[in-house]
DNA sequence: GTATGTGAACTATTTCACAGCT
DNA sequence: AGCTGTGAAATAGTTCACATAC
């Protein structure tokens, strides 16, 4: 528990959690690291090492109780409680994120979306309302929103981030293709789909030249 | 050029490319590694090291010519030609990816989308047509599509991947929250938004317990 | 003086080997 | 025998230091 925990370990814990939910549902109450790791196409060493950063969760010679390990990982990731999020930018990507069930299953609830487009705002969806940007501060405070998801075009991303920060957000999940400037106490995670996709063409090109 | 190149280096090259386009447009024809690195919030050592895997692109004591480095990185990433892609799953996420300009700017053109929903198929959009799944083979062959983007719900992802593979796709960009089983010659890249988002709650929780 | 390019040093992460429990 | 947990070894990736060029 004293050593530095790799960020990749944290992300993998999410994978473990999801797989465990599947196994608990589908198959067996007890699972070995080998079985779980095979399912996720990683090594069982890695899985056990990742868990060992946080404690001991299995029984030697036996394996892990799915439901107990699920609870433990939920504790570690802070998913034993609800978190409130909002989406900035209600285009296709923003909508996709707003309605994605997977977040909700993990206790991350998207309470509000913001956009500048008059045609999009003030619309009510089952568990979500779309507001204009100038309502941000009020809504974030009222709903106690901690996480901001940026899904605006790149030219608007920096401004969206600034606004989220001044409204008291604690973490930003940025899907816009820009490196944001945010105060260091803000937890920031970038996912740049375009850069990830482009890495495929590199490998495709090399595949061709090898042949 | 002989050493193994980290995958992260490949992804960062995309970042460099995008930043260089910005600088070429906005500011100056010559840029130093320091300036570019600061802009991207990485170290200048890292930037130069990344480039050094592929050759020498700068002038000592001077810096890099933006346009020359842009061309070099395009060559490295295989972006000096067009690539054809298709999207499987035309929900909000599929639509977002289908219409995202950023891919097109980098030469990755989404030629077709596939869905099972009768209401979505056979619709024409400016540069894209939506087909039913059973047209996949024909369309992929005809349009010479090399990249498949999976944006279906998790229960449909494995089947989508299988179908793409039998249709002769070379690379898969998977946004569904499942680890896919694909032949090893297929280039596979997963982006799991839910696991990435969840890693934020881990840090948020730790932020709170620290205070 | 300024900036690149790169082997070497360092740090981080993964994999291994095996002790210990069932 | 089968499986976990973990220090140690191996590997991968980043940062540094400095030689070289402008």
Question: Whole-angstrom Cα distance, residue A121 to residue A129?
Answer: 8
Q: Tell me if chain A has a CB within 8 Å of the CB of B155.
A: no
Concatenating the DSSP letter of every residue in B150-183 gives E-S-HHHHHHHHHHHHHTT--EEEE-SSS-----
Q: Tell me if chain B has a CB within 8 Å of the CB of A68.
A: no
Please check whether residue A151 is in contact with residue A94, taking contact to mean a CB–CB distance below 8 angstroms. yes
- DSSP reduced 3-state for A64: strand
Question: Whole-angstrom Cα distance, residue A24 to residue A165?
Answer: 39
pLDDT at B1: 43
Chain A partners within 8 Å of B13 (Cβ):
202
Nearest by CB: B199 against A41, A189, A196: A189
**All residues at 6 or more sequence positions from A138 whose CB lies less than 8 Å from its CB, including other chains:** none
Q: What is the phi/psi pair of residue B103, to 5°?
A: -65, -45
Q: Is B177 in contact with A146 (Cβ distance < 8 A)?
A: no
pLDDT at B160: 98
Tokens of A208: 């061709």
Neighbours of A151 (CB within 10 A): 25
Q: How far is CA B3 from the centre of its chain?
A: 24
Measuring from the CA of residue B9 to each C1' atom, give the nucleotide at the shortest distance.
D13
Per-residue pLDDT of chain B (211 residues; tens, 9 = 90+): 457 899 999 999 999 999 999 999 887 899 999 999 999 999 999 999 999 999 999 999 999 999 999 999 999 999 999 999 999 999 999 999 999 989 988 999 999 999 999 899 888 888 899 999 999 999 999 999 999 999 999 999 999 999 999 999 999 999 999 999 999 999 999 999 999 999 999 999 998 776 5
Please check whether residue B89 is in contact with residue B117, taking contact to mean a CB–CB distance below 8 angstroms. no
Distances in Å between the Cα of B114 and the Cα atoms of A4, A54, B156 are: 44, 43, 12
pLDDT at A126: 86
- Sign of the dihedral through C-alpha A18, A22, A23, A25: positive
Architecture, CATH, for domain B7-77? Orthogonal Bundle (1.10)
Write out which nucleotides of chain D lie closer than 7 A to a protein Cβ: 1-7, 12-17, 19-22
The CATH H-level (homologous superfamily) assignment of domain A83-195 is NAD(P)-binding Rossmann-like Domain (3.40.50.720)
pLDDT at A1: 42
**At residue A3, does pLDDT exceed 90?**
no
Q: Tell me if chain A has a CB within 8 Å of the CB of B170.
A: yes
Q: Please give the protein residue whose CA is closest to the C1' of the nucleotide C11.
A: A4
Identify the weakest region by mean pLDDT among A2-6, A106-110, B107-111, B182-186: A2-6
Q: Is the CB of B62 under 7 A from strand C?
A: yes
**At residue A2, does pLDDT exceed 60?**
no
pLDDT at A211: 56
Q: Where are the alpha helices (DSSP H) in B78-192?
A: 92-98, 101-105, 136-143, 154-166
pLDDT at A122: 83
- CATH number for the domain formed by residue range(s) A7-75: 1.10.10.10
Helix (H) or strand (E) holding A81: none
B52-66 residues labelled b (16+ CB within 10 A) or e (exposed): ebeeebbeeeebbbb
Q: Are A7-75 and A83-195 in the same CATH fold?
A: no
Q: Is B195 in contact with A99 (Cβ distance < 8 A)?
A: no
- Summarize pLDDT for B185-206 with one digit per residue, the tens: 999 999 999 999 999 999 999 9
Please check whether residue A36 is in contact with residue A65, taking contact to mean a CB–CB distance below 8 angstroms. no
| Burial of residue B166 (number of CB atoms within 10 Å: 0-12, 13-18, 19+) | exposed
Q: Tell me if chain A has a CB within 8 Å of the CB of B117.
A: no
pLDDT at A127: 86
The domains of chain B are located at 7-77, 83-195
pLDDT at B28: 87
What value does the mean pLDDT of chain A take?
A: 94
């Amino acid at each position: 528990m004293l050593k530095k925990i790799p960020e990749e370990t944290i992300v993998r814990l999410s994978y473990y959690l999801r797989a465990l939910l599947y196994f608990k549902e589908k198959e067996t109450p007890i699972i070995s690291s080998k079985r779980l790791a095979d399912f996720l196409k990683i090594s069982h060493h890695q899985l056990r090492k990742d868990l060992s950063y946080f404690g001991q969760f299995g029984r030697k010679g036996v394996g892990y109780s799915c439901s107990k390990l699920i609870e433990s990982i939920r504790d570690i990731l802070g998913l034993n409680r609800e978190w409130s999020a909002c989406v900035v930018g209600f285009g296709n990507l923003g909508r996709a994120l707003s309605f994605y069930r997977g977040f909700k299953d993990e206790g991350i609830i998207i309470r509000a979306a913001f956009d500048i487009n008059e045609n999009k705002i003030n619309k009510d969806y089952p568990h979500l309302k779309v507001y204009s940007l100038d309502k941000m501060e009020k809504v974030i405070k009222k709903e106690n929103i901690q996480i901001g998801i940026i899904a605006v075009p790149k030219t608007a991303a920096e401004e969206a981030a600034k606004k989220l920060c001044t409204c008291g957000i604690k973490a930003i999940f940025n899907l816009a293709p820009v490196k944001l400037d945010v105060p260091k106490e803000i937890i920031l995670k970038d996912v740049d789909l375009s850069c990830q996709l482009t890495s495929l063409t590199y490998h495709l090109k090399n595949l061709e030249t090898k042949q």
